[in-house]
Amino acid sequence: MSASDGSTVSRRVILQSGVLATVGLTVGGLALGQDKSLPLITKAIPSSKERLPVVGIGTNAFGVSDPAEVAARRDVLKRLPELGGSVVDTAQAYGTSESVIGAQVAEIGNRSKLFLATKTPLAGDVANAEEVIERSFKNLRTDKIDLMQIHNVYGVDALLPALLEQKKAGRIRYVGITTSVDNQYPQLVEAMKKHPFDFVQVDYSIENRSAEAEVLPLAASKGMGVLINVPFGGRRGGNLFGKVKGRELPKWAAEADITSWAQFFLKYVVSHPAVTAAIPGTTKVSHLEDNQRAARGRLPDAAMRKRMEDFWVGNAT
Ligand SMILES: NC(=O)c1ccc[n+]([C@@H]2O[C@H](COP(=O)([O-])OP(=O)(O)OC[C@H]3O[C@@H](n4cnc5c(N)ncnc54)[C@H](OP(=O)(O)O)[C@@H]3O)[C@@H](O)[C@H]2O)c1
């Protein structure tokens, strides 16, 4: 397990699941109110070695118009990089989420501190790929998109040539592909085997570990970065928080600097050696602050990951 209590640690090699994983620990981006004794955990994007903080945000609930709701989303977007985070995941399919993010980020003026990831449409005509892609630039009010992903494996053949063209032109920095359902894994895996994606985005949590069988090992062997969606089991009823209501964290969780259930769930996910970052959805600064703490301090090693899994299925206390 990695450990650090000082501001001088910049990089550390830890042993996870029998695989040597390099985890960068930096102390940038600290803001008032953040525990400065715990260094930020970053992981490298395999195709470029650029490092990303291991916890970002998902924004499928950012398509709002009520001024109070927009202001709340704006607070989250402002606070994220102040806490050391950078990855913001959105999609053309999330209502007006892209436009809300574009407008708020322009107003806040923190575009350069964010890693903006979006997605091509989930349905409809994508034959005019250039036009489809251009919508995201316009909505996000940016001349560079950090990561553009093919949403739910939809329209790979129509979209990928144009995405790779835009990457070559330097307007899109990374290209990826996503799913969040098991029955799309066969198509996802086929596309990953065939095409040079920088990233794959997939569902994974302590309760939903099907990605471990093929998707995560394939991503590691192909040198693809991995973003994890729905790390809490989604925003509808039945998510992981409902399952731990009234339950105390196991005492040993403190050995990985875990102080809440959200951090327990996130540290489990981002300590998988193939995972680059998780994108928990949140619309509240209080939840953001909790989640960003999962990007600091020690990560569970292979033994603690096993203990977390056993605990989750009731085999441990
Ligand atoms: N196919 C795809 O490509 C795909 C599919 C699904 C999702 N995604 C991406 O993945 C992101 C994450 O998925 P998701 O948002 O659906 O589900 P999620 O991250 O598993 O869970 C989000 C839910 O957890 C709550 N929450 C967040 N932080 C919390 C905390 N610290 N304590 C208690 N509750 C907390 C949120 O409530 P509050 O809003 O109140 O904070 C929300 O109800 C999406 O936003 C989207 O960007 C991609």
pLDDT at 113 (0 to 100): 98
Nearest CA to ligand 1 atom 8: 229
- Give the whole-number percent of the chain exceeding pLDDT 70: 89
Q: Which atom of ligand 1 is nearest to the CA of 290?
A: 31
Cα of 264 from ligand 1 centre, angstroms: 15
Q: Which of 105, 6, 121 is nearest to 62 (CA)?
A: 105
Q: How far is the CA of 235 from the centre of ligand 1 (A)?
A: 5
121-155 tens-digit pLDDT: 999 999 999 999 999 999 999 999 999 999 999 99
For ligand 1, what atom is nearest to the CA of residue 230? 20
Rounded to the nearest 10 degrees, the angle between the axes of helix 185-194 and helix 215-222 is 10
How much distance in Å is there from the Cα of 29 to the middle of ligand 1? 23
Beta strands in 27-137 (DSSP E): 40-44, 51-53, 57-58, 87-89, 115-119
SS3 content of the chain, % helix, strand, coil (to 5): 40, 20, 40
Average pLDDT score over residue span 75-84: 98
Q: pLDDT tens across 106-118, in order?
A: 999 999 999 999 9
| Model confidence, pTM | 0.91
CA-nearest residue for atom 43, ligand 1, is 235
Evaluate whether 214 touches 236 at the Cβ level (below 8 Å): no
Residues within a 6 A CB radius of ligand 1: 58-61, 89, 151-152, 178-180, 201, 229-235, 239, 241, 262, 279-284, 287, 290-291
From the CA of 180, give the closest atom in ligand 1: 1
232 alpha carbon to ligand 1 midpoint, in Å?
A: 7
- Calculate what percentage of the chain has a pLDDT beyond 90: 86
Question: What CATH number should be reported for the domain whose range is 45-312?
Answer: 3.20.20.100
Q: Which atom of ligand 1 is nearest to the CA of 149?
A: 3
pLDDT at 36: 52
Cβ proximity of 121 and 149 under 8 Å: no
What's the pLDDT band for 38 if we cut at 50, 70, 90? very high
Contact 42, 54 (CB under 8 A): yes
| 285 alpha carbon – ligand 1 mean position (Å) | 13
pLDDT of res. 35: 58
How far apart, in whole angstroms, are the C-alpha atoms of residue 51 and residue 41? Answer: 9
User: How high is the pLDDT of residue 315?
Assistant: 79
pLDDT at position 32 over 50: no
Q: What's the distance, CA 205 to chain centroid?
A: 12
Cα 71 from chain centroid (whole Å): 23
Provide the pLDDT for residue 29.
38
DSSP secondary structure code for residue 42 in this structure: E
Q: How far apart are the first and last CA of the chain?
A: 20
Residue 16 has pLDDT above 70, yes or no: no
**Sequence ranges of the domains in the chain:** 45-312
Residue 229 has pLDDT above 60, yes or no: yes
Distance 239 CA to ligand 1 centre (A): 10
Triad 207, 210, 215: Cα angle to 5°: 135
204 neighbors 211 (Cβ within 8 angstroms): yes
Structure tokens at 116: 């903006």
Taking CA atoms only, the protein residue closest to ligand 1 atom 26 is 282
pLDDT at 22 > cutoff 50: no
